Amino acid sequence: MSKHSEACCRISPIVDDNYQPKGTYIELNGTKTYVTGPANAEKAILSVYDIFGFFPQTIQGADILAESDVERKYQVYVPDFFEGNPAKIEWYPPTDDEKKAKLGKWFEGSAMWPKHLPKVRSFLEAAEKNNPNIKSWGIIGYCWGGKMASILAGHEEPLFKAAVQTSPAMIDAGDGASAKIPVMMLASGDENADEVKAYDDSLKVPKHVEIFDGQVHGFMSARADLKDGQVKAEYERGYKLSLEFFHKYL
């Protein structure tokens, strides 16, 4: 695993309940989208949520990415890929047959990655019409979105300059070997450590790969229990590392 220096920025105190978003929801390319950060920013981040959609922890994360860096401000876009039909958080973890069936049916109908990957380029183009100042993009993906980021990092003509994954789903060293841009992976303690290591070893680009031992899958998004002090601290640390990575490569 690679080492990383202290993060570049100060994050406002994490709100553990009843978070009030700082951005707004707009329609972009026909898709409901949460947008936060300076309307004239030259650097933007596409935030690809987990299977649970617009959760407060993920929205707060978008606001953190938009405003915390003292030297650079980013405009962050969070599109509703699932079009108002996210998975229900009570289905996860799928500990019985009923939950497994519901999650599996939803996933096959709504969340297969090939269905959503073609949307990305046109979405970025629409965002650049919304803010013509945008000159470069980063991507952060949570769980399901982490796989999106992993695949897009290997795009033949990269759409992004840097990719961050947290609690990534379906870790594949083949994705890592294909990566053409700097990649960060912040895995939880629930991910398979051997798969994380194989992915780390496969990367031939600038990288930072780390396992947050003791944290559950989704610790930087919908499943983060921010009322727990240790979870809150690791949530904050994850965003500091992500910001430093974007600061360096975006």
Which pLDDT does position 70 carry in this prediction?
67
Query: Is residue 139 classed as helix, strand or coil in its secondary structure?
Result: strand
Regarding the domain with residue range 24-249, which homologous superfamily does it belong to in the CATH classification? Alpha/Beta hydrolase fold, catalytic domain (3.40.50.1820)
Whether 75 and 46 have beta carbons less than 8 Å apart is answered as: no
pTM over 0.85: yes
Which pLDDT does position 8 carry in this prediction?
62
- Predicted confidence (pLDDT) at residue 156 exceeds the cutoff of 80: yes
- State mean pLDDT over 203-230: 97
- Predicted confidence (pLDDT) at residue 210 exceeds the cutoff of 50: yes
Which pLDDT does position 250 carry in this prediction?
94
Q: How many whole angstroms separate alpha carbon 11 and alpha carbon 220?
A: 14
The separation between CA 33 and the C-alpha centre of its own chain, rounded to angstroms, equals 15
Give the CB-side neighbour count of residue 1, counting CA atoms within 13 A: 15
For residue range 76-100, list pLDDT tens digits in order. 999 999 999 999 999 999 999 999 9
Average pLDDT, the chain: 94
Q: Predicted confidence band at 155 (pLDDT cuts at 50, 70, 90)? A: very high
Q: How many whole angstroms separate alpha carbon 29 and alpha carbon 124?
A: 9
Packed helices 229-249 and 56-67: angle between N→C axes, nearest 10 degrees: 40
- Specify the length of the chain in residues: 250
Report the percentage of the chain scoring pLDDT > 90.
91
Q: Give me the residue spans of the domains in the chain.
A: 24-249
Which pLDDT does position 4 carry in this prediction?
41
- State mean pLDDT over 122-129: 97
- Predicted confidence (pLDDT) at residue 3 exceeds the cutoff of 80: no
Going by their DSSP bridges, the two strands 43-48 and 31-36 should be labelled as unpaired
* Alpha-carbon torsion angle 32, 36, 39, 42, nearest 10: -110
Question: Residue 29 is encoded by which pair of tokens?
Answer: 């390319």
Q: Predicted confidence band at 2 (pLDDT cuts at 50, 70, 90)? A: very low
